[in-house]
Structure 1
Amino acid sequence: MILTSKSLFPWLLIGSFIFFIFSQNSSSPPFRIKELKQRFNGGWKPGCDITNGSWVRDNGSSHGYTNQTCKTLPESKNCGKYGKKGDYERWIWQPTRCELPRFSAVEFLEISRGKRMAFVGDSVARNQADSLVCFLSETEIPKPFHKDQEDKFPIWYFESHNFTLMVMWTKFLVQGTEKLMNGSGSGDYDLQLDTMDREWTDRLHFIDYIVISSGHWFSRKIYLYEGGELTSCIFCSDQNVTNHDPTIGLQKAFKTTLQFLDEARESDQNMFIVLRTFSPAHFENGTWNDGGYCNRTRPFDESELSMTGTYWDIRNAQVEEVNKIKIASRNVKRRFELLDITKAMMMRPDAHPDSNWNNEWMRGYRDCVHWCLPGALDMWNDMLLILLKKYSWEMGNIEAERSYNR
């Protein structure tokens, strides 16, 4: 591809903008223990397992935004506007042995003052970013700084907190190339498991918080390569090629990604890296466009779940890779954490924008992959704020100790 001054201009503009933000951060005040204690009062508590629990009825408290107050809410996730039935908004996640505080935009923006956050992944990662923008917009309306033609790399800037939020769209995290058939895309892919997708890694400069995720694009025919050599495949029937389920390829892709982020020369500052576990789909009797649907009207109980199968295997592989990098990493500027939402979201077959009740909205297909907003997915950002509190507390203690020893 030949780069022209016209094609480079948007990225030069983005680079200048991020450099400006980065230069503003040098004047940010250091952490102070007294402020930290005040900031986290009633928030994260050591030993609290927020991943195990149940969905309970919420008869009064607000999500913090509605489908009417959030002006950036995508039409495809605006289930309330198009008449989705059921009480999909009226449930909150209740951990078994502790509380999960509801999201506070004020707390989030204060913790994130002077920072840059990126959601890296597919359209479900964008789903979470849209929820976060809706939450934060209740406190401060962001300035949309950049929107590319396909809307895959949007940037929002919260000026009064000097906080930048962006999405970096990628199907597989690693490099994937669609195979062509008669000059058109075939839907099959070649995947280089040991090579990063530079579409997002080239934009990694100056990122402080990064939330990575992937999964649904692995459920198709994919040929897996390592060292430039074909090693195996997913959902193929080729002779002399070992066929795997999606878990094998996905786990290797996450391993490569976490190792890259641990060693990345693209970014030399502190970086908090969160892996969000697999978000399950709930199709019944088919898929997107062949009769599948998800028209249930209440959450599952834990007794209705089966902790087996591909979804749970993918989640376990992701947990394994995060645990491995935590042990292996020697980079004091990197912190890795898990945003484990799989079990909670396996219980929410009622919370997708399935078009069974309004076929004109989705124009012929059923969406049991993405999530209504506001709704169950907002809990991911409740959890994300808890992880940020934990990270900020740890970094604050480190900074205080350094100051004390000077």
Structure 2
Amino acid sequence: MESVSILLLLCFLLVQALAGASGVVIGLRRRRDATQRRFGGGADRVACDIFTGSWVRDDTYPLYQSLNCPVIDAQFNCQLYGRPDSDYLRYRWRPAGCELPRFDGLDFLRRMRGKTVMFVGDSLGRNQWQSLICMLGAASPLSPTQFIRGDPLSAYKFLDYGVSISFYRAPYLVDVGVVEGRRILMLNYISGNGNAWRTADVLCFNSGHWWDYMGDGGGYYMDMDRLVAFQKAMNTWANWVDINLDTSKTKVFFQSISPTHYNPMEWNSSTTKNCFGEIAPISGSIYLGSYPDQMPILKGVIKAMRSPTYLLDITTLSQLRKDCHPSIYSGDLNPEQRANPDRSADCSHWCLPGLPDTWNQLFYTALFF
């Protein structure tokens, strides 16, 4: 009987050892593909794909009010510009296999004390940048702040913590040049822009919208395939990161492609012509529309990088939020445009408060958990 007990104990210890070794391998692999996090403590830690799940009603949301956050651009300030409904603010993202940590702005500021978070990219990056400022401001309403608005670099500083939340406007990440009076994309070059990026402790990049006239290694093309151009530019960006950043000191993220909602057939609607009038998310976790063509390219580029780069994969969960766009409730539209939602509705950016707050909850989770 005693020998049986010893044998069982040895088997148990062997299983535990194998599980521990497996956990190390899985952790390293998942850091590379950047789709899963581990929650809990000790033996209770479980893996979770935080980007697969569904939206659930939660009346403790939103995390802030637009009137209390003066940095929100008119383009994103839907409540201020007359949006009549507010239920779209009261949804929380729930991954299929776990619960996300609730965003804690004070915890974020304490962990990032003395550091800089920089968003680099286009107006979708600006959307996320302003969201994070609002979320942190709501958690520390008495903390003195400083806002420096510039072009291409703007910074919002929480002075008690020495934390800077910055945005660097670089819609294409690669350089933009001028040839014969026309602006072109220099797909093989990142020069002056990158000097500012090197100073950040956390970088979150994004890109996705392209001009018609592009440059590649000295040649200029009116009709270059957009996906070929995207891949060239992303390879240029990836090489820049690999060569110029010390990722033991700088954490690198890339926000995946933010979707648009201009085609109601993608959510099986016959009553609307775009996102105008949509007031609730799509239920479940499946979106009927197509997956952005840029995504396989982006995933392939990140997978091939030497530098650990986390893909903040917000694409599918954002596709489910046809209700979160400014539509006609944007300060950038005049009365005539607001009266014609079929032509004027903005179904590519996002209201604040709104969906980018969830992007930042996922960003917070990926940074610290």
Do both share a fold (TM > 0.5)? yes
5+ residue gaps, structure 1: 1-39, 237-242, 286-290, 391-406
**1:193, 1:45 → 2: CA distance?**
43
For 1:268 and 1:317, the matched residues in 2 are separated by 22
Question: Match for residue 76 of structure 1?
Answer: 75
CA 215–46 in structure 1, closer or farther in 2 if over 3 Å, else same: farther
Matched residue type, 2:275: C
* Equivalent residues of 1:157, 1:164 under 8 A apart: yes
> Amino acid of the residue matched to residue 74 of structure 1?
D
Aligned to 2:326: 353
Q: 1:336 aligns with which of 304, 309, 329?
A: 309
In structure 2, the residue matched to 1:147 is 149
1:192 to 186, 190, 195: 186
Deviation at 1:356, TM superposition (A): 6.7
CA deviations on 1:100-137 (whole Å, 9 max, x unpaired) are 22211011112211211110001110110000000111
Determine which of 186, 207, 214 is the counterpart of 1:223: 214
Hey, what's the Cα distance between the residues in 2 that align with 1:55 and 1:70?
25
- 1:264 aligns with 244
Paired position in structure 1 for 2:282? 300
Q: Is the 8 A contact 1:113 1:163 kept in 2?
A: yes
Give distance in 2, aligned partners of 1:45 and 1:83: 45
Alignment of 1:377-396 (within 5 A): 377-390=356-369
Q: Distance in 2 between matches of 1:102 and 1:324?
A: 32
Deviation, 1:378, is 0.6
Report the Cα distance in structure 2 between the residues aligned to 1:51 and 1:382, rounded to whole angstroms.
11
* Runs of 4+ with >4 A deviation: 356-359, 361-364
* Counterparts of 2:185 and 2:330, CA distance in 1: 38
Q: How far does residue 292 in structure 1 lie from its aligned partner after superposition?
A: 7.2
Cross-structure match for 1:212: 205
Partner amino acid, structure 2, of 1:294: C
User: Whole-Å Cα distance in 1 between the matches of residues 84 and 102 of structure 2?
Assistant: 24
Alignment of structure 1 residues 359-370 onto 2, 5 Å: 360=334, 365-370=344-349
2:71 is matched by which residue type in structure 1? T
3-state SS in 2 of match to 1:88: helix
AA aligned to 1:306 is L
**AA partner of residue 196 (structure 2):** R
Relative to structure 1, is the Cα distance of residues 304 and 165 closer, same or farther in structure 2, using a 3 angstrom cutoff? closer
What is the DSSP-based 3-state SS (H/G/I as helix, E as strand, rest coil) of the residue aligned with 1:144? strand
Greater CA radius of gyration, 1 or 2? 2
8 Å Cα contact 1:56/1:92 also seen in 2:
yes
- Match for residue 257 of structure 2 among 266, 278, 288: 278
Going from structure 1 to structure 2, the CA distance change for 1:356 and 1:379 (only over 3 Å counts) comes to closer
Equivalent position SS for 2:235? helix
Q: In structure 2, list runs of 5 or more residues that go unmatched.
A: 1-38, 265-271, 339-343
The equivalent residue for 1:100 is: 100
Structure 1 equivalent of residue 267 of structure 2? none
Distance verdict in 2 for CA 1:142–1:62, change over 3 Å: farther
Map 1:162-201 to 2 at 5 A. 162-177=162-177, 189-198=183-192, 200-201=193-194
**TM-score, structure 1 normalization:** 0.69
Distance (Å, rounded) in 2 between the aligned partners of 1:368 and 1:107: 33
Deviation at 1:205, TM superposition (A): 3.8
RMSD: 2.9
Residue identity in the other structure for 2:356: L
> Would you say the 8 A contact 2:74–2:330 is kept in 1?
no
* 1:218-276 superposed Cα distances (whole Å, 9 cap, x missing partner): 2x413341x3234x66xx2xxxxxx42x33222221221122112117x7971100011
> CA separation of 1:124/1:320 partners in 2, compared to 1, >3 Å: closer, same or farther?
same
Query: How far does residue 78 in structure 1 lie from its aligned partner after superposition?
Result: 1.4
Offset of residue 74 of structure 1: 2.1
Q: Which amino acid aligns with 1:206?
A: T
1:78 maps to amino acid: N
Residues 356-403 of structure 1 show CA distances to partners (whole Å, capped at 9, x for unaligned) of 79963795643211110111121000000011114xxxxxxxxxxxxx
In the alignment, the residues of structure 2 paired with residue 361 and residue 382 of structure 1 have an alpha-carbon distance, to the nearest angstrom, of 35
CA shift, 1:173, in A, is 0.3
Kept in 1, the 8 Å contact 2:55–2:284? The answer is no
Which residue of structure 1 aligns with residue 300 of structure 2? Answer: 320
> Which of 192, 202, 223 is 2:195 aligned to?
202
Q: Secondary structure of the equivalent of 2:298?
A: helix
Matching residue of 1:239: none
Give SS of 1:194's match. Answer: coil
Secondary structure of 1:281's match? Answer: coil
User: What CA deviation, in whole Å up to 9, does each residue of 1:296-322 have, x standing for no partner?
Assistant: 22212357623635x2x2122212211
Q: Distance in 2 between matches of 1:357 and 1:336?
A: 34
Closer/same/farther in 2, CA of residues 307 and 77 from structure 1, 3 Å limit: closer
Q: Secondary structure at the match of 1:161?
A: coil
Structure 2 contact 79–329 (Cα < 8 Å) conserved: no
Counterparts of 2:360 and 2:168 in 1: how far apart (Å)? 18
Structure 1 residue 142: Cα displacement: 5.3
Distance 1:352 1:321, change over 3 A: same
TM-score of the two chains, using structure 2 as the length reference:
0.76
